[in-house]
């Protein structure tokens, strides 16, 4: 008779989706649907938002915004934190802070949420897709260097893509699922080519590499506080940087580029943005931040739970952090080995029908019609990861009691 965990690398893998469902059903609490990632709120959060309403400070300035920025400086160790309306606006401001502009190229992965590429495109720049490494899904620094050796030339002191003739303006590194990408090596490549390194650390509050917070390895980092991240402000984001000039410029751009005036005149020196975080949202964020350490701990426990639960099942691996990393394990992920990739959609269907909201990896960005013409290197690892990866429910509430 069949054991509860049939060995998957036998010729017949058809039992694997059911085995995976059985494991998930056994370890997840019974509430259905079980979201991929939902926020956890207690009375503390409700009180904080109510207090902000009562204070009258609900909009884009207020004491909670100031306190939230100070708390973010404390957590990340960055000299500056600018609270903004979303992770996407944080990324857009980061691009502008790094002088990414029209008809330049930004080296970035195709394994990411669309917002990373949107931010590049908003500036008129063009994403130039580079491949991922298969362990933590970040840009592969070795192959990035080889690619640059292949296509990059110096012209009039600028780094240029000799195939397209466009200036290469920056590297945008994405830390996927909360795990540090190979950021120390990526920083070395960026330095070698004198390129600004921008980090999409959108999902990475509380994640560190070598005891240093993500978002602080490059010149600018972007964080998100969307409802699906480890800590939420409802919607929101932040830019972190150690560079005083960049911080001042980003704050200025985020605040409609309004100049100081002794009589409160409305004078703006460039086209600016209304990208500041409202005080209401900052109040919620501040209340959430008091639980960040506990959330990270719970999510790391959940990741270990998944690792143990799937250890007996051959033919798949659970994505884990690299050496020296302390990940917030934002999203857990299963990677199907070898021919088992063919079962991905079946596993997604079986689990989703049971109310466990698993999800495939983001569709590779270079395969979206809007980016079909974008320059790229060989993206076979990206394609392969997309075919084999399944995200698993990862909310703090899966293990922890709310509040």
Ligand X SMILES: *Cc1c(COP(=O)(O)O)cnc(C)c1O
Alpha helices (runs of H) in 124-198, residue ranges in sequence order: 141-151, 183-192
Distance of closest approach, residue 198 Cβ to ligand X, in angstroms? 12
CB 258 within 8 A of CB 266: yes
Q: Which of residues 204-243 bind ligand X (CB under 6 A)?
A: 224, 226, 237
Distance of closest approach, residue 202 Cβ to ligand X, in angstroms? 3
If the CB atoms of residues 141 and 237 are measured against ligand X, the closer one turns out to be 237
Does 203 engage in binding with ligand X (CB under 6 A)? yes
Does 136 engage in binding with ligand X (CB under 6 A)? no
Return d(Cα 386, Cα 1) in angstroms, integer: 34
Angle at 281 between CA 277 and CA 285, to 5 degrees: 105
Please give the structure tokens belonging to residue 307: 């690792």
If the CB atoms of residues 166 and 299 are measured against ligand X, the closer one turns out to be 299
If the CB atoms of residues 22 and 118 are measured against ligand X, the closer one turns out to be 118
For CA atoms 29, 226, 112, 296, give the dihedral sign.
Answer: negative
Q: Which of residues 95-124 bind ligand X (CB under 6 A)?
A: 112-113, 115-116
Does 39 engage in binding with ligand X (CB under 6 A)? no
Using CB under 6 A, which of the segments 45-53, 84-92, 259-267, 300-308 binds ligand X? Answer: 84-92
If the CB atoms of residues 202 and 343 are measured against ligand X, the closer one turns out to be 202
Name the DSSP letter for residue 376: B
Please give the structure tokens belonging to residue 241: 């940087």
Q: Which of 200, 219, 239, 249 binds ligand X (CB under 6 A)?
A: 200
Q: Say how many residues touch ligand X, by CB under 6 A.
A: 14
If the CB atoms of residues 200 and 321 are measured against ligand X, the closer one turns out to be 200
Q: Which of 17, 62, 87, 97 binds ligand X (CB under 6 A)?
A: 87
Distance of closest approach, residue 237 Cβ to ligand X, in angstroms? 5
Helix%, strand%, coil% for the chain, nearest 5: 40, 20, 40
Residue 198's alpha-carbon distances to 86, 216, 237, 286, in angstroms, are 16, 9, 15, 25
Is 318 strand, coil or helix?
strand
| Residues making contact with ligand X (CB under 6 A) | 86-88, 112-113, 115-116, 174, 200, 202-203, 224, 226, 237
């Amino acid at each position: 008779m069949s054991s509860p965990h049939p060995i998957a690398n036998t010729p017949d893998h058809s039992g694997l989706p059911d085995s995976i469902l059985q494991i998930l059903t056994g370890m997840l609490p019974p509430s259905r649907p079980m979201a991929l990632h939902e926020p956890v709120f207690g009375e503390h959060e409700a009180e904080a938002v109510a207090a902000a309403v009562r204070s009258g400070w609900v909009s884009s300035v207020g004491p909670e915004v100031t306190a939230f920025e100070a708390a973010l400086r404390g957590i990340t160790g960055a000299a500056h934190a600018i609270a903004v309306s979303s992770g996407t606006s944080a990324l857009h401001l980061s691009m502008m802070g790094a002088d990414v502009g029209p008809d330049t190229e930004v080296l970035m992965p195709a394994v990411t949420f669309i917002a990373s590429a949107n931010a590049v495109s908003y500036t008129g720049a063009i994403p130039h897709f580079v491949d991922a490494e298969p362990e933590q899904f970040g840009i592969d620094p070795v192959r990035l260097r080889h690619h640059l050796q292949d296509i990059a030339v110096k012209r009039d002191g600028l780094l240029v893509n000799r195939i397209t003739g466009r200036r290469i303006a920056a590297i945008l590194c994405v830390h996927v699922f909360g795990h540090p990408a190979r950021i120390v090596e990526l920083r070395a490549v960026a330095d070698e080519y004198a390129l600004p390194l921008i980090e999409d650390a959108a999902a990475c509050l509380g994640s560190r590499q070598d005891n240093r917070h993500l978002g602080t390895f490059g010149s600018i980092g972007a964080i998100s506080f969307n409802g699906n991240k480890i800590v939420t402000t409802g919607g929101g984001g932040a830019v972190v940087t150690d560079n005083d000039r960049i911080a001042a410029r980003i704050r200025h751009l985020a605040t409609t580029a309004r100049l100081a005036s002794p009589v409160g005149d409305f004078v703006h020196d460039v086209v600016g943005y209304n990208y500041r975080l409202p005080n209401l949202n900052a109040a919620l964020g501040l209340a959430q931040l008091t639980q960040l350490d506990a959330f990270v701990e719970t999510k790391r426990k959940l990741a270990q739970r998944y690792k143990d639960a799937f250890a007996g099942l051959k033919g798949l691996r659970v994505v884990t952090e690299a050496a020296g990393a302390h990940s917030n394990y934002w999203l857990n992920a299963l990677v199907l080995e070898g021919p088992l990739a063919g079962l991905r959609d079946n596993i997604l269907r079986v689990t989703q029908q049971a109310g466990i909201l698993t999800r495939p990896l983001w569709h590779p960005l270079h395969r979206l019609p809007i980016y079909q013409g974008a320059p790229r290197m060989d993206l076979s690892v990206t394609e392969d990861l997309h075919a084999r990866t399944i995200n698993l429910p990862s909310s703090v509430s899966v293990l922890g009691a709310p509040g």
